[in-house]
Chain A
Amino acid sequence: MIEGWYRRVAENVARVMVGVEETTRLLLAALVAEGHVLLDDVPGTGKTMLARSVAKSLGLDFKRVQFTPDLLPSDLTGLNVWRHDHFEFLPGPIFTQVLLADEINRATPKTQSALLEAMAERQVTVDGETRRLEAPFFVIATQNPVEMEGTFPLPEAQLDRFLVRLKMGYPEAEAELEILRRTRREHPLFGLGAVSSAEEVREVQAALKEIRVDDEVAAYVVGLARATREAEGVALGASPRAAIGLERVARALAAFAGRAFVVPDDVKTAARAVLPHRLVLEPEARLEGLTAERVVEGVLERVPVPAEPEA
């Protein structure tokens, strides 16, 4: 069921997006795993377009918020206004199913933290009143890693709430040519129809729980998370929440491949998207050129995979 759904959505997204199949796969995996995505790349690589294509393909309600330094939390969550004889709640853009938080690192930490409750609890509290967000609720945040002036880097607590961080990267020459061809007349996004629905997404999310994770594979997941904490040059390793997220994304990838069980390859693929943004490197190590991605690769090269013993 999940495999068929994934193929349908991915093919639909591919009508707009060229050369980002792997990013789409991981993004959809995060959605199915009930997580949120941080798209981290330079402007113009298709981050917003990908988010909109996914939202349209899924048939979900979509809103986009351009984060700026003067954006207030109430601009996001909504506020109570006096109407005649009573207060009426005007919901903010956060009351949607797919929220694109564009350039999230340009908003102040106060506004960024307004997202915390919504992302983690799937609820919003305004003036002491808590309101549930309609499922599925999926945040796709983007940030530009180059222009850092006037930005507020996301705190670790906030980063940990993003299930995966993805990088788009520049397309290959052939793919870029295809993009030119497709956008010459009318942008294909305008003609993109929905191939799924909120109800189906909820079913897919529920079905993911049936994917089996062998005890030894689960131990491998834990082993990877623990190994990041002991890695050289790492001040803060992956949290238990990271291990939970790693297993969930691995499950989604297994389901997309048509399997009812997770294999270590799923875990490895998921680890590259789930772990790096949660690691805090020591300043000295960072100055020496160590990156979180390299730490994760090192961990994957150290932790034994559960398989048959070498003969």
Chain B
Amino acid sequence: MSGRHWGLVALIFFVFYLLPLPGWLPALVYLGLYAWLEEGRIGLALLASAFFLVPMGERALYLDSFTLALRESLVLWGASLAISGLESGRPLYLAPLFFVGLVLRPEGSTLALGLWVWLVYVYAVQVREALRAEARARLVVLAFTLLLGLFAVAIGPIHFSLPHPNAGVAGQAAAPNGLASTPSPSNAGGQGPALGQGPVRVYLPAWLPQLMLFLGIVGLVSFLLLARQNPGQARTTFRRRRDGLWSLVLGLLGLAFWLFATLIWRPDIPGHAVFAPPRPAVTLTEQAPGETLAEEKPAQPMDVPKKAQPMPPFWPIAALFLFLAAYLAWRWRSAEGKGGGEKRASEPPGAPPRPVPPAPGRVRAAYRRFLRAARRVTLRKAVETPREYAHRFARARSELAEAAFRLTELYEPVRYGGEADLAHAEEAELLAEEIERRLR
């Protein structure tokens, strides 16, 4: 198995872990559609997944449904970026997924803060350059940041309290780490199934997850907007190879720490708390309107009646995830096969043997992205040379002529000259990204 396939396994595991069980089906729909429809149709895939998500909520719980949809969208956006990153061999794109995961799991707040700082470092140059390059971007980012920040404060911290019509223990069932900090507006007033039926530990101050959420959304939105405006900027952040390596090492350390914290630390098992030592915890109980929300009690181990939990169809959905993983792996293999020397079934017996071309590298991958994006303008004919196609494309989109010619110029030595593509891979990817962005 190649590194990309291991990455795929990690990705599927990650999505499994991040989402509450009822969110798996929409996630599966989303990822399946994303893989099927290919990049550029994220909106459609999200809509479809939302369609599967909405019936799970009850009418009185729109806000909780919405926050779940928001969380799920963030995870899926991160997942789609990760898929793109794996497909194009850019592990940096995995970073947003981990970041999203940390936002959704605020018990890893210490680590989240560290990673957030790292991301700020990574994208600081990008933000600065984008703002400098385009004044409009500044206003857009500012407006969205303020808006979403206010929204984040308004809806309260994220928690895994999927409103389930069938269970009063939905809060426990969907919150494997048993975290809840402050009640959300929907359950604070006692409407609907309350978050945290029964005692639930709170290890973190209420403001910390809120702050994390706010910072996370600010960071994500800024990144998303700027990446859409000029995706190439993210690449130029690492002008020096050493910076890229440091970032990668930091990211891997963060991931390892996060995995340790979330997989080994179990708050429902006494003595396993990593981020906060066992101490008297604030206990939340279901409250009638007007009553005090919390009282100090000694910490008690959480006793979740597991048999009473609703049982979503775990195995069928898990099997579907595995099927999806196999499908994606097959797609990549077949994509490699197209670039490789698979014998074509339609070849006549007398045809000369087709030589095995070299494995596609980053420049060739960038050129394929250009072809995919340029398909909207004009298709490349099979009898056209890359130069002929570049000329035809340039006639149709003269503003992209220079980028198309340069990308073709970088592609030819790799494709026909047997030259290693390391030297110009960065530039080719930037050009492909620029063309993709301007044709979007």
Contacts and interface: CB of A to CB of B under 8 A. Distances in A.
A306 B352 CA distance: 14
Question: Which of B338, B354, B356, B375 neighbours the largest number of chain A CB atoms within 10 Å of its CB?
Answer: B354
Interface in B361-419: 364, 367-368, 371-372, 375, 379-380, 382-388, 411-413, 415-419
Contacts of B411: 308
A167 interface: no
Question: Which of A222, A263, A302 neighbours the largest number of chain B CB atoms within 10 Å of its CB?
Answer: A263
A263 B416 contact: yes
B338 A212 contact: no
A259 B416 CA distance: 11
A266 to B, nearest CB: 9
Interface in A234-274: 259-265, 268
A64 interface: no
A232 interface: no
Contacts, number: 84
Contacts of A218: 355
Contacts of B357: 215-216, 306
Interface size class of B (residues with CB under 8 A): 20 to 34
B368 A311 contact: yes
A263 B352 contact: no
B408 to A, nearest CB: 10
A310 B382 contact: yes
Interface residues of A, number: 30
Nearest to B419: A261
A141 to B, nearest CB: 31
Given A263-B385, A263-B387, A302-B383, A307 B355 contact: no
Question: Which of B351, B380, B417 neighbours the largest number of chain A CB atoms within 10 Å of its CB?
Answer: B417
Contacts of B385: 263-265, 268, 305, 307
A265 B355 CA distance: 19
A152 B351 CA distance: 38
B352 A222 contact: yes
Contact of B354 (A217, A219, A226, A301): A219
B367 A263 contact: no
B244 interface: no
Nearest to A264: B385
Contacts of A44: none
B416 A261 contact: yes
B386 A307 contact: yes
Nearest to A267: B385
B189 interface: no
A310 B379 contact: yes
B417 A261 contact: yes
B384 A263 contact: no
A265 B384 CA distance: 9
Contacts of B384: 305, 307
A223 interface: yes
Contacts of A212: 416-418
Nearest to B380: A310
A309 B372 CA distance: 10
A272 B121 CA distance: 56
Nearest to A225: B352
A283 to B, nearest CB: 27
A263 B410 CA distance: 12
Contacts of B364: 308
B339 A261 contact: no
Contacts of A264: 385-386, 416
8 contacts: A216-B354, A218-B355, A219-B352, A219-B354, A261-B412, A308-B367, A308-B371, A309-B338
Given A261-B413, A262-B416, A309-B368, 18 more contacts: A212-B416, A214-B418, A215-B355, A216-B416, A219-B353, A223-B351, A260-B417, A261-B412, A263-B385, A263-B412, A264-B386, A305-B383, A305-B385, A307-B380, A307-B386, A308-B371, A308-B411, A308-B415
A-B complex: 10 closest residue pairs judged by Cβ atoms? A215-B355, A261-B417, A311-B372, A304-B382, A264-B385, A311-B371, A214-B416, A265-B385, A309-B338, A222-B352
